[in-house]
């Protein structure tokens, strides 16, 4: 029996360093917190506030933007923390790739024709939170 959040046929990443290695080897990559690709394929994505149907799966980019001049691990910590509140016993983070079909209400990419690339161990989200706390000025607004 596999542990919750493990996807068959793809690597199960257990550290931010493992995730960084994957992101540096392949791009673009995204993270999604859900019940996994099989469950996502069986549902319709919808914006919860408006009720509008979305043309793809809501994801967060794992591939750093060209302007990012810090460690890849710092980008990953920030990206994982953005949607960590979605993690639950039924929802876990997993890495995917696909084609951008549009943008969601928070300007997040919406993917179609997705492929699962890896699953992310829940402990990596804890590691991301600790990294985020250590290296960022959370809540700083530039004033």
Tens digits of per-residue pLDDT, 32-71?
999 999 999 988 888 989 999 999 999 999 999 999 999 9
Task: Give domain status of residue 141, yes or no.
Answer: no
Task: Give domain status of residue 7, yes or no.
Answer: no
Nearest to 81 by CA among 1, 39, 139, 8: 139
Q: Please state the domain count of the chain.
A: 1
pLDDT at residue 3, as a whole number: 66
Domain that holds residue 50: 12-135
Average pLDDT of span 81-86:
89
Average pLDDT of span 104-114:
94
Task: Give domain status of residue 23, yes or no.
Answer: yes
With tokens 């990596």, the residue in question is 124
pLDDT at residue 1, as a whole number: 39
pTM for the full model?
0.91
Task: Give domain status of residue 36, yes or no.
Answer: yes
């Amino acid at each position: 029996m596999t542990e919750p959040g493990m996807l068959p046929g793809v690597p199960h990443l257990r550290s931010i360093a493992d995730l960084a290695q994957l992101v540096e080897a392949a791009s673009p990559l995204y993270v999604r917190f859900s019940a996994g690709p099989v469950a996502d394929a069986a549902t319709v994505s919808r914006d919860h506030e408006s009720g509008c149907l979305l043309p793809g799966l809501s994801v967060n980019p794992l591939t750093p933007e060209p302007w990012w001049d810090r460690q890849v691990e710092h980008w990953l910590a920030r990206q994982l923390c953005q949607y960590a509140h979605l993690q639950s016993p039924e929802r876990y983070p997993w890495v995917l790739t696909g084609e951008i079909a549009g943008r969601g209400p928070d300007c997040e990419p919406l993917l179609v024709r997705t492929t699962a690339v890896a699953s992310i161990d829940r402990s990596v989200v804890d590691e991301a939170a600790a990294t985020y706390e250590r290296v960022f000025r959370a809540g700083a607004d530039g004033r």
